[in-house]
Amino acid sequence: MSGDGLTDGRDGAGRTAGRLAGLVARAGQQHGDGYSFAFLDEHTKRELRRRTLKAVALPGHQVAFGSREMPLARGWGTGGIQLTLSLVGPADVVKVIDQGDDASMNAVNIRALIGRTTGVRTTRDAAEATLIQTRHRIPDGPVHPAAIVVLQVPFPEPLRLVEPSDAVTRRMHAERDYSKMWLYLYEDIVRYGRISLSYRYPCMVNGTVLMDPTPIPRHDVAKLHQSPRLHLFGAGREQRVYALPPYTDVVPLDFEDHPFETERAGAPCSRCGSEMSFRTEVPGHGWLCSDTAYCDSRVGSA
């Protein structure tokens, strides 16, 4: 190992990082070089798939898994990348999204890791991708009918908002006792006149389990209900995986007189003119699609 210079204290941080990147690159080319296909060893991937299967069998239920150390800081998608790497096969086409953008540093790095350790093709086109790892967004345009969507999860526990203890939240799930969450929403309406939650909007799955849909906007929460695709949720730091199999009921908590509402943008996208996409206001540019690949495809085809 000393020959690699990785542990050499005299080596500058930049040079170490460079060597590490080189190692990863080489691993992608020759899997016999200490790294397995898709970085994780076969036993780890099998264990992750087992946990994922359990999660699929129990929609919305949080399943514990032994989260591995990844060449990625915790909180940067270690849960998502482990699920992705456990599922990716040589024929897959992979897309990675960070906040609707395929070009952000986090997305680029995760995509590079997947690409280099598997050699699979990557894409920006959601209609072409068979495996999509995403943070905070679900693509706005057409998505490949058989795609698996892997969401990165910072906090898997929807009841964390109202209850700090894990022992208590587990009991609340077991007893289907969600009155505290309902009370939170009631108090929110009494105080602010509306439900002020803008992300991590709690949803009932199949009418039984309360689930955190991750910090996707409410615009995307609405897409989960009866979605034809498999959605997987991986929380690396919290060591939990949960899933929504295709055509699962996902119903946001709401009241008869305060129904769940998605965000409303102030104007169509100033770039592509979309009125259907999730848009955010950018100073000096007006309202723009948050999903850049979707926006680009519309501009390109126009």
Partner 1 sequence: MTGIDALLRVRGLTKRYGRRTACEDVSFEVYPGEILGIVGESGSGKSTVLQCVYLDAGADAGSIRLAGEEITEADVLRRRWLRSFRMGMVHQDAARGLDLNVSAGGNIAERLLAADWRHVGRIRSRGTDLLARVEVAADRVDDLASAYSGGMRQRLQLAKAMANEPPLLLLDEPTSSLDVHVQAAILDLIKELHGQTGVAMVVVSHDLGVIRLLAQRTLVMYRGRVVESGVTEQVLEDPQDAYTQLLVASSLG
Nearest-angstrom CA–CA distance, 78 and 202: 23
Q: Which C-beta is closer to partner 1: that of 50 or that of 176? A: 176
Residue with tokens 């723009």: 288
User: Residue 246: CB partners within 8 Å, gap ≥ 6?
Assistant: 227, 228, 229, 230
Active site residue 295: yes
Q: Of 66, 203, 269, 284, which is the active-site residue?
A: 269
Q: Is residue 196 helix, strand or coil?
A: coil
Work out how close the CB of 176 gets to partner 1 at its nearest, in angstroms, rounded to a whole number: 8
Catalytic one of 66, 141, 295, 300: 295
Note if 272 is an active site residue: yes
**Looking at 80, 203, 234, 272, which residue is catalytic?**
272
Q: Considering the complex, state which of residue 69 and residue 257 has its C-beta at the smaller distance from partner 1.
A: 257
At closest approach, how far in Å is the CB of 190 from partner 1? 5
Tokens found for residue 240: 């939990």
Binding site for partner 1 (CB under 8 A): 175-177, 179-180, 182-183, 186-187, 189-191, 255-258
- Distance separating alpha carbons of residues 143 and 132, to the nearest angstrom: 9
Min CB(286)–partner 1 separation in Å: 35
Cβ–Cβ < 8 Å for 37, 227 = no
Catalytic residue among 3, 28, 60, 100: 60
Minimum CB separation from partner 1 for residue 174, in Å? 8
Active site annotation includes 203 = no
Q: Which residues contact 157 (CB under 8 A, 6 or more apart)?
A: 62, 166, 169, 212, 238, 240
Active site positions, annotated? 60, 269, 272, 289, 295
